[in-house]
A and B are shown apart, each in its own frame.
Chain A
Amino acid sequence: MRTAVDLKLGEKAIIKDVDNSHYSSHRVLEIGFTPGQEIELVSKSVFNDPIALSIRGTIIAIRRNEASCIMI
């Protein structure tokens, strides 16, 4: 299954699910990454990690490791 990490720059996707087993999944949900929401990879850091995702009208910087629990 694809995750938010697999997005290309500028690519949009709808969140399908959030992987419960990841230690950051709770925080990821609380911050607003819930199934049905549209995300977009808006930018990447200089070293490609963390990445910046747009969600619910704002931009969240998140490490690739943690973004991998967002299924698209």
Chain B
Amino acid sequence: MNTSALNKIPLITLVGQPNSGKTTLFNYLSGKNYKTVNYPGSTVEYSISKILSKFSVNANILDSPGIISLIPSSPDEKLSVDTLFSHPKFGTPDIVAVTVDASQLSRHLFLVKQLIEANFKVIVVLTMPDILHKKGLEISDNKLGNILNCKVVRINGLTGKGIDDLLKAIDEAVNELNSENISSLINKPENSHKHHLLDLYSSIEKIESEVIFKKENINSNGKIDLQKINENLVILNSPRFPNKPDEFTLRLDRFVLHKYSGLLIFFLVMSITFTSIFWLASPVMDLVNEFFSFLSDNAVSILGDGWFGDLVSNGIISGLGSVLVFLPQILILFLILGLLEDSGYLARGAMLIDKPLSKIGLNGKSFVPLLSGFACAIPAIMATRTIANKRERFLTIFLIPLMSCSARLPVYALLIAFLIPSDKPWLGGLILTAIYIFSITSSVIIAAIINKFQNKLIQEKDNSSFILELPAYRKPKLTTVLNNTIKSAKQYVKKAGPVILYLSLILWVLTYFPNYDPVNIDESGKTAEEITQLKDAERISSSYASYLGKFIEPVMSPIGLDWRVGVSLVATFAAREVFVSSLALIFKITDDEDDLQNSILNAMREAKIEGTDKKLFTIATTTGLIIFFVFALQCLSTVAIAKKETGGWRIPILQLVIFTFAAYALSFITVNGLRALGIN
């Protein structure tokens, strides 16, 4: 975006406390024409947009992360506040629009007062008037505006009523702007003392008592009955007239946070979430897969089966496919998380799980990221930004790769199918569940170990904090949730996409060259298709990848595997699910009558360790492989995201080394332990 062009039109920054309806307002004003921009060198994200052209106001509008106060309590908040005062790219906002939940006026006026004290030109946007009405209260916008000496408008987030008033206010404010350099007037609050905070609140309480009154004070013509107000004027929070939380919410919380029913609801919500991620997404994922193999087949038939055709079909198209195949799961995950968040449950879930998580050095706020990790580590790591404490945040990022992400499912499916007798398919589900429980238990243990270890390394005071508003329950606003879902999915494609694509291309080169056109193939009595497949197999067994595989064979043999599985494991660093297709390539699967999985299974049953007649895949080695997949960090996109989000290589390298080592060591113990027990 052009900076000089931006400087000419006024910049309006949207500010607000969490749950104040800020995002809804941004969506109303920007439609879908926003851009997401990062604060340079950090992960704090902003959406910027021109105000919709159908509203005739010429201004840029910048969304910012929710803040409680202008005096930051965490590094992330500090960045948000610094950016509000002077965004490195967009400068100081000409106007600040603050969303204020009318039903908790005093808490939200706190930020407004701070902004006014800092000399910003402030427009107060009152949200959630319906909730205030439900409490039997009403607010006088005019009076509030007069006292604060700024514009006050009222918006109903559900209906969008009031947007026109806001635009009128913005328009007026824009016209009042003079050429003066605003940034010279703005002063940042110093770290204020307790008495200053208390003074601020007592002035706010005075304002509140003047502008809020009981609803019955409005007479039949809709006019405010001043005499009645004076009769009924009472200070809020006096025993006679308390500002109580939403009654329905309080009643529902008795079940949702209850000792037994709370746990039950928690597990129910979790199961539904998981089930939907896996089962709702799988038919869509199959469609994506089919679409890309259709494209890939067509590319070959159009471009021929030379190296170029192969590059396009197996390199580029398959690479794109492996990026997009996870999109359905990510969309569903974010949709569910969005619905849970908007309805108010997510904050309760975080509260319920805070205690157990704090025991292993995590935070209740680690809950959502860890949960997302079961779909894909990439959005999960991005979701850790809400954790204020840096240590807890890094530990959460560290653990996310241990959550069994969806890319491991096809691998588990194949290996489990190998392990179980075909007449007992129910055993497969049992083993899969066991794998999940095993991976969760292991991550708890690893977290506990690292937490202990870290305590010894960093002798810093543990200022771990969990203070979270439990918002009133409400019906989720679908458009806002969908908007955010699409935003997150876009981020995933933008961030993980290029990495996965490049790696797929590198992998393609490694498996395709140097012997890209194998000649010494016995073609007699074979169909054209079989010849192509034999060529593929010959090509890969003399490829750079196979040199690499043979090079690491000494490492593979202690866990009972040979170079061919080694190559597949190397390939999985691009994307785990590649394991299945690369096994198919390497084991020269030519049989087309069966489906792919059965052909691979047969090949696996026949396979011998090269040069011997010992079976390659046994119960011991296959179990070892499963254990390997539980721990190993075979996903370079995760490494890339972890580097980006932690701002350095330390965490991703530690993850890579520790998890790969753990995977190898535990796999070694499993294979040799099973063998010692006589299970081969």
Contact = CB atoms under 8 A, between A and B. Distances in A.
Interface string B423-446: 000000000000000000000000
B473 to A, nearest CB: 11
B237 A38 contact: yes
A57 B218 CA distance: 22
Contact of B351 (A28, A37, A61, A66): A61
The winner among A29, A49, A59 for most chain B CB atoms within 10 A is A59
B104 interface: yes
Interface in A23-72: 23-32, 34-35, 37-38, 42-50, 52, 54-63, 66
Contact of A58 (B463, B467, B469): B469
Interface string B324-339: 0000000000000000
Given A32-B106, A38-B242, A59-B253, A50 B237 contact: no
Chain B interface, DSSP helix/strand/loop, else mixed: helix
A63 B465 contact: yes
B467 A61 contact: yes
B245 A66 contact: no
Given A24-B465, A30-B68, A50-B466, A57 B73 contact: no
A32 B107 contact: yes
Of the listed residues A32, A47, A55, A58, the one surrounded by the most CB atoms of chain B closer than 10 A to its CB is A58
Contacts of A59: 245, 249-250, 253, 469-470
Contacts of B69: 27, 30
Interface in B237-268: 237, 239, 242-245, 249-250, 253-254, 257-259, 262-263, 266
Contacts of B249: 59
A61 B468 contact: yes
Contacts of A4: none
Nearest to B347: A61
Contacts of A62: 466-468
Nearest to B363: A63
A25 B665 CA distance: 46
B461 interface: yes
A25 B106 CA distance: 18
7 contacts: A29-B197, A32-B201, A57-B135, A58-B472, A59-B470, A63-B466, A66-B465
Interface of A: 18, 20, 23-32, 34-35, 37-38, 42-50, 52, 54-63, 66
Interface of B: 68-69, 71, 73, 103-107, 110, 135, 194, 197-198, 201-202, 237, 239, 242-245, 249-250, 253-254, 257-259, 262-263, 266, 347-348, 351-352, 354-356, 358, 364, 461, 463, 465-472
